[in-house]
Amino acid sequence: MFEAILNPVFAPLLNLPPLFAIIIISFVLTLLITLIHKFATDQKLMKSLKDEMKSHQKEMKDHKDNPQKVMEIQKQVMQKNMEFMKHSFKPMIFTFIPIIIIFGWLNAHMAYYPIMPNQEFDITLTFDLEGLGKGINLVSVIPENQLEIINGAKQTVEKNKTKTFFSEKWVGMAKWKLKGPEGLYTLVYSFDDDMRAYEKDLIITEERKYAAPEKRINDESSLKSIKIGNEPIRPLFGLGWIWTYIIFSIIFSIIIRKVLKVA
């Protein structure tokens, strides 16, 4: 539903390099959020609260040898800060839902590169260690006879080491290499010893769009995920779109608030 609204606005940015597109979106959103904050809050009151907090912080430095006095001033700072946050909450209500919707669009278009027509790509099924040695079949592709399965329809789950956020661990993996023409596909997998079928959508296109690369499996089977090998977009120093957006939004927020004199 929101795609129909957001695509005409943001789709032209997909013709730009990802970094430039994210910079533009970050600037526009930061400017809108700052303007909403400026006009939805009492700026005189907000500036007054900020000045009082700065004054109290200076007092705390002047009385650093008097812990009791510092505690009293700290309480006043906390009260002023709570009041400042209370007034800041109103513009957040106006911006929260639109930002979530836009972030959803960005995640659907800026997190990965698409699988291109006739580009070779991987599909990886990950299992817990109980799945080692199982035979896994790519039983069908819908529509039929469109994708070329380069390394065979049947694979065996083998032990592999994978990186987690904090460490490494051993898991079972089975991989398929495929390629094919532009189109929307459904891949269907099954185990040798299991009657259930597991499906994963796939989009092959020259446009900047893709099916969700990873599908998590949450049943009692040893299969944990099915993942398409879309290449991640890392536009800034190896960082993904979300961290790139956050960095530039912080920079733009500092500059725009100073220029517009927003508390």
pTM of the model: 0.79
High-pLDDT (> 70) share of the chain, %: 97
Residue 189: name the closest of 159, 229, 161, 217 by CA. Answer: 217
Q: Given a cut of 80, is residue 4 above it in pLDDT?
A: no
Predicted confidence at residue 40, as pLDDT, reads: 80
Q: Given a cut of 90, is residue 203 above it in pLDDT?
A: yes
Predicted confidence at residue 193, as pLDDT, reads: 67
User: Dihedral (C-alpha) 139, 125, 173, 128: value to the nearest 10 degrees?
Assistant: -110
Predicted confidence at residue 45, as pLDDT, reads: 79
Predicted confidence at residue 145, as pLDDT, reads: 83
Predicted confidence at residue 134, as pLDDT, reads: 87
- Contact assessment for residue 179 and residue 89, using Cβ atoms and an 8 Å cutoff: no
What's the mean pLDDT in 207-217? 91
